């Protein structure tokens, strides 16, 4: 699988030569949180105040709805490290499409939506956490990372993963294993949270401009009509004078670099077929197609 692009061209700020984008910032904060866990006293007061405890949230500790992905009350194990790495890897590619600001909105909306869903399920349903369940506090980046990974797969279902397996196959396996695991452990609360969380994330992603080909997913984006300027309103209201004469045609807009690269790849396909493209060129074709489609 090809390495994703470098992300948004401009970050929120720079550290040396590194652009600190939204995904990189969340990744760094998660690692800092783990360091805080390692040095704070055994009670882990800071980490426990970052988790999303439903009762504490309803009693006024509203910051928990935003901080639960960076909370590690039990420390960070090898699977947590992998989750953080995957979040950075695939989140960077999504941020390349959205840009840093829209990526921040995307992650923020998904975080709040998953948090409110968890609070609602814990407080409003009698469903228990099953034989393998523990506490009812939501924490760690794992769930957010999983949603980011599945959104990436839905955006690029044909991208190849390890052993040249298509992304959509990996997505089906991840969802099937998660559902069967929750069923086997009788974790009906987590099962319901996972299924509804997937739907909420899909709606948010579609509304942010991702997953455009999945037309069955609702798009809640509000498109504002362009406002007519006062100058135009005055011009259309009066009796204007039409001036005739030999006018030069408007100049042809220059072809963008993305369009030129896409045209070159399409010419190669037309001349030698799809199999003539390398794996890197096929990935580039998908990225260019999606980028130009959103303009």
pLDDT in 10s for each residue of the chain, 295 residues: 444 444 344 788 888 888 899 999 999 999 999 999 999 998 899 999 999 999 999 999 999 999 999 999 988 889 999 999 999 999 999 998 889 999 999 999 999 999 999 999 988 888 766 544 445 789 999 999 999 999 999 999 988 888 889 999 999 999 999 999 999 988 888 999 999 999 999 999 999 989 888 888 988 875 555 555 555 555 555 455 555 555 566 665 666 677 777 788 787 777 777 777 776 677 777 777 766 666 5
Which helix (H) or strand (E) element contains residue 78?
Answer: helix 78-98
SS3 assignment, position 16: coil
CA 143 to CA 77: how far, in whole Å?
Answer: 15
Q: Taking the CA atoms of 281, 283, 289 and 294 in sequence, report the sign of the dihedral they define.
A: negative
Query: Tokens 């968890």 correspond to what residue?
Result: 118
Q: How far lies 161's CA from each of 90, 128, 144, 175, in Å?
A: 12, 36, 20, 16
Which helix (H) or strand (E) element contains residue 18?
Answer: strand 18-20
From the centroid of its chain, how far is CA 174?
A: 17
SS3 assignment, position 241: coil
Q: Taking the CA atoms of 23, 152, 95 and 1 in sequence, report the sign of the dihedral they define.
A: positive
Superfamily of domain 13-207: Rhomboid-like (1.20.1540.10)
> What pTM was computed for the model?
0.72
Query: Tokens 């975080």 correspond to what residue?
Result: 111
Q: Which two tokens stand for residue 17?
A: 């030569």
């Amino acid at each position: 699988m090809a390495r994703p692009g470098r992300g948004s061209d401009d970050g929120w700020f720079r550290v040396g030569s590194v652009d600190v984008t939204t995904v990189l910032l969340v990744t760094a904060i998660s690692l800092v949180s783990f360091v805080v866990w390692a040095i704070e006293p055994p009670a882990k007061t800071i980490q426990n105040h970052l988790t999303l405890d439903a009762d504490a949230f309803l009693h006024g500790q509203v910051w928990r709805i935003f901080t639960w992905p960076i909370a590690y009350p039990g420390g960070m194990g090898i699977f947590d490290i992998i989750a953080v790495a995957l979040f950075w890897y695939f989140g960077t590619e999504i941020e390349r499409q959205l840009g840093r600001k829209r990526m921040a909105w995307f992650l923020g909306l998904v975080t709040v939506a998953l948090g409110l869903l968890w609070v609602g399920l814990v407080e409003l349903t009698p469903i228990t956490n099953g034989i393998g369940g523990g506490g009812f506090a939501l924490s760690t980046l794992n769930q957010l990372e999983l949603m980011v990974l599945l959104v990436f797969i839905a955006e690029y279902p044909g991208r190849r993963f390890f052993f040249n397996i298509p992304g959509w196959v990996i997505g089906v396996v991840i969802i099937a294993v998660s559902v069967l695991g929750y069923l086997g452990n009788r974790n009906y609360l987590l099962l319901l949270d996972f299924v509804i969380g997937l739907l909420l994330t899909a709606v948010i992603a579609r509304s942010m401009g991702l997953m455009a080909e999945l037309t069955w997913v609702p798009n809640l984006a509000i498109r504002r009509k362009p406002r007519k300027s006062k100058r135009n309103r005055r011009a259309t209201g009066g009796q204007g004078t039409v001036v005739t004469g030999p006018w030069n045609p408007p100049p042809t807009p220059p072809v963008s670099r993305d369009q030129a690269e896409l045209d070159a790849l399409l010419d190669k396909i037309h001349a030698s077929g799809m199999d003539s493209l390398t794996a890197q060129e096929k990935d580039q074709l998908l990225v260019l197609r999606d980028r130009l489609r959103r303009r």
